[in-house]
Structure 1
Amino acid sequence: MAQTLRDTKGTLVDRAQRLMDDHFGDSKLTTRQKLALTCRIAFDGGHDSGLAGQISARGQQTGTYYTQRLGLGFDEITEDNLLLVDEDLHVLEGDGMPNPANRFHSWIYRSRADVNCIVHTHSLHTAALAMLEVPLVISHMDTTPLYEDCAFLKEWPGVPVGNEEGEIISAALGDKRAILLAHHGQLVTGATVEEACNLAVLIERAARLQLLAMAAGTIEPLDPVLAREAHDWTGTDRRSKANFAYYARKALRNHPDCVSGQVEL
């Protein structure tokens, strides 16, 4: 006999959250493994643009972070060929050099203590939207983790290899988790690698949906109260980790070489 059909939505949400806490625990993957998987997930998700884009995650020591080696595409990144760099982009571990554009990651990490991972790419649909100088519009339930959480930089500051671009981009991001960069691409952040990876997948899907909807008619807005509720519900840590585990399993089927040994997901 059903016992929950008269429960309030709040009660059901609380119950579901407790169940997710029980069923979706913390990953046993290392930061290097998560980052390598994120590179492959991004590649498979339409974020490939040659050697453009950087994905990074904080290292154990203050002022350090892992990132990929310049010259390798996202589909070539493994946990073993990632670099550990400092804020000046000096290589502390690994062979090769980082992308000079990683400099603006240093600025974001400095200004945002809550950020532990950054995914910046020139994914196809976010780049197309950026060419129109149009902010990201969130009008679908699936993409509500980005509702009121995506900034917009309308003025292109040029190739982001200087400190000026780092100051501009980090200031434009503010306290949000994502930003659309006009004439450039997208950038998302996360308290965890899993969160940033999930948002990177979502922002590309949101841009694609927006372009399709704009071509067909006028995009209608979401109810703000319901959209904020959906933002909080769909953007939880446990949901990010569950999504990441799914994306990682797919990536491992396509790219079993990106991590060493057996992994548990």
Structure 2
Amino acid sequence: MSPAAIPESSLPSVAQVTKTQDVDAMAAMAHRGKALPGIPQFDSHAEKRQWQLEHMAGAFRVFAREGYAEGISGHISVRDPEFEDRFWINPLAVHFGLLKASDMICVNLDGDVVGGNKNGSINAAGFQIHSSVHRARKDVHAICHTHSVHGRAWSTFAKPLDMINQDVCYFYKAHSVYSDYRGIANAPSEGQRIAQSLGDGKAVILMNHGLLTVGQTVDEAAFLFCLMERSCKIQLLVDRTELEKHIVSDEEAAYNFKMASTPECLYTEFQPHYQYEESLCNGNFKA
């Protein structure tokens, strides 16, 4: 029998493969090629801090090109590598496409400015949200939140995303919906409720508000944000039709999540976007 004639039923299923093999997700990305390097390691807190700020600024450039800027709304934060109770966040009223590493402001969880650009201000609602999530999730080192168009549109339904394609499975059983919207998050209680709704997940859809994603690196959180925004757009497009939807099965969705939604893989997924922005502006956002 020729290879083309092998019946599909005789091939091993996804479930059979994953139950019998412990596959390294990063190694599986490259077919018979050199494995991609993954998240770099640093010899000092200062080196890692600068790297984080550069990638934070690069993520803002990506967000600007994707059209996520909306007035003074939207923020990315990164936990300081040396001081667990401090994080870096963007200054208020500076366009995403203009931000540089040196523009970022370091605050502690009590809201005191302790480093970085001390001439800038930060978004009050942004502080409440980010400080609450950083306080609640010690494993989270980066948080992204903007008022992106399709995220806001999908958020009005207060529903999680359906597993309708391979990529959205990166959020399989790892995203939630915050459906207790109480206006602009100027009060600590709103940030605390958002953090509680996020739980131990990777993302939360904020009803009547937008999207929030988290990660161990700003690259992971930023890639997840871009992916969730596009997933909301796809969901809205699909739901406009009356055609039957085919939902990815739980087994296949779990396999996709296992193989592609690790911190290392998601960091790697963001690198082409970062490198493109770096090339376009000769890396001037690193200053």
Q: What is the TM-score when the length of structure 2 is the normalising length?
A: 0.82
| Equivalent residue, structure 2, for 1:3 | none
Alignment of 1:22-171 (within 5 A): 22-27=35-40, 30-59=51-80, 60-93=82-115, 94=117, 95-101=119-125, 102-171=127-196
Distance 1:63 1:16, change over 3 A: closer
Given that 2:129 and 2:194 are in contact with CA atoms closer than 8 Å, whether structure 1 keeps it comes out as yes
| Equivalent residue, structure 1, for 2:257 | 231
SS state at 2:177 partner: strand
- The equivalent position to 2:286 in structure 1, one of 246, 259, 262, is 259
SS state at 2:87 partner: strand
Given that 2:58 and 2:285 are in contact with CA atoms closer than 8 Å, whether structure 1 keeps it comes out as yes
Unaligned runs of 5+ in 2: 1-10, 42-49
How far the C-alpha of 1:212 sits from its partner, in A, is: 0.4
SS state at 1:65 partner: strand
SS state at 1:80 partner: helix
| Equivalent residue, structure 1, for 2:45 | none
Q: Distance between the aligned counterparts of 1:255 and 1:185, measured in 2?
A: 29
Q: What is the TM-score when the length of structure 1 is the normalising length?
A: 0.88
Distance 1:12 1:45, change over 3 A: farther
Unaligned runs of 5+ in 1: 1-5, 261-265
SS state at 1:47 partner: coil
Aligned residues: 255
Alignment of 1:168-183 (within 5 A): 168-183=193-208
Q: Residues 78-117 of structure 1, C-alpha deviation per residue, up to 9 Å, x if partnerless?
A: 0011111111222112121111112121111111111000
How far the C-alpha of 1:127 sits from its partner, in A, is: 0.5
- The equivalent position to 2:246 in structure 1, one of 216, 220, 238, is 220
SS state at 1:34 partner: helix
SS state at 2:213 partner: strand
Distance 1:19 1:87, change over 3 A: same
How far the C-alpha of 1:13 sits from its partner, in A, is: 7.4
SS state at 2:239 partner: helix
Q: Distance between the aligned counterparts of 2:228 and 2:67, measured in 1?
A: 11
SS state at 1:144 partner: helix
Q: Distance between the aligned counterparts of 1:84 and 1:15, measured in 2?
A: 36
- The equivalent position to 1:240 in structure 2, one of 261, 266, 287, is 266
Q: Distance between the aligned counterparts of 1:202 and 1:98, measured in 2?
A: 26
Q: Distance between the aligned counterparts of 1:50 and 1:135, measured in 2?
A: 27
How far the C-alpha of 1:15 sits from its partner, in A, is: 6.4
Q: Residues 46-70 of structure 1, C-alpha deviation per residue, up to 9 Å, x if partnerless?
A: 3222221110000121210001000
Given that 1:146 and 1:178 are in contact with CA atoms closer than 8 Å, whether structure 2 keeps it comes out as yes
Given that 2:54 and 2:101 are in contact with CA atoms closer than 8 Å, whether structure 1 keeps it comes out as yes
Given that 1:152 and 1:182 are in contact with CA atoms closer than 8 Å, whether structure 2 keeps it comes out as yes
| Equivalent residue, structure 2, for 1:263 | none
Q: Distance between the aligned counterparts of 2:169 and 2:156, measured in 1?
A: 23
Q: Which has the larger radius of gyration?
A: 2
Given that 2:175 and 2:205 are in contact with CA atoms closer than 8 Å, whether structure 1 keeps it comes out as yes
Deviates more, 1:99-108 or 1:132-141: 132-141
